[in-house]
Amino acid sequence: MRKASLNNLVLLAVLLLAVAYGALLGFKYCLQSAAKQNADATEQVEALARLATRTLAQEVKPFSERPEPCQRHLAYRLLTELSDHYVEVTNRTTQPWNSLTIRIGISGEVLTWEGHPGTTFVRHRDVLYLSDYYPLRTGCAVIAFDLNTRKQLWRSHLIGVPCIGHSKYSNVVDMEFKDNLVVVYGWESAGRYIEKVDPKTGESVYHKLLGTE
């Protein structure tokens, strides 16, 4: 009887050791998976940072001294403007220019828009001001979104530059929030411009053409 009990105790001890070992292996696997996820996330952030730093040197010169297009593009803006929000960027290869879907938020009301690597935006407090344009087409609109409600506040098409006939075209846009206005800088094949927009209404309050140079 004692021998049977002893055998049962030994068997129980072996089972407990097996369970503990299995749990240890599982914990080790979880740690390895978490480490891999962290490494992947770090690599993505570092890649975005490398893209973002390419534009930093361009910010030294004022816009009027920049005849060539320069831009704080999507990667830079995601790092500098939305670091406190969950952001997901999905590549849609079927569309040549608006090939990216940018999503802010995980559940509930989610803010989503279509864009491209050159899409730029600026944030002031809890409002996001987004440029809506195509790199091979004239024109640009600005859209204001409330980051709390994820709702569109307004959409305003800019004056920009006069339309011209063309077979090839280039359009680059940059933005900043300055002196309580949304300031848009545009480089198009038809010319350059600066336009300032009222952040509450989307109304253009200042517009200046700078020529093609």
How confident is the model over 29-84, as pLDDT tens digits? 444 444 444 454 445 545 554 544 444 444 444 555 455 555 577 888 888 888 88
Which of 13-17, 96-100, 127-131 is predicted most confidently? 127-131
- The Cα–Cα gap between 156 and 151 comes to 15
Residues 114-138 have pLDDT tens digits of 888 888 999 999 999 999 998 888 9
What residue spans define the domains of the chain? 1-53, 59-211
- The Cα–Cα gap between 143 and 175 comes to 12
**Residues shown for the chain:** 213
Alpha-carbon distance values, 98 to 9, 45, 92, 203, 208 (Å):
67, 22, 8, 26, 28
Q: Provide the whole-model pTM.
A: 0.68
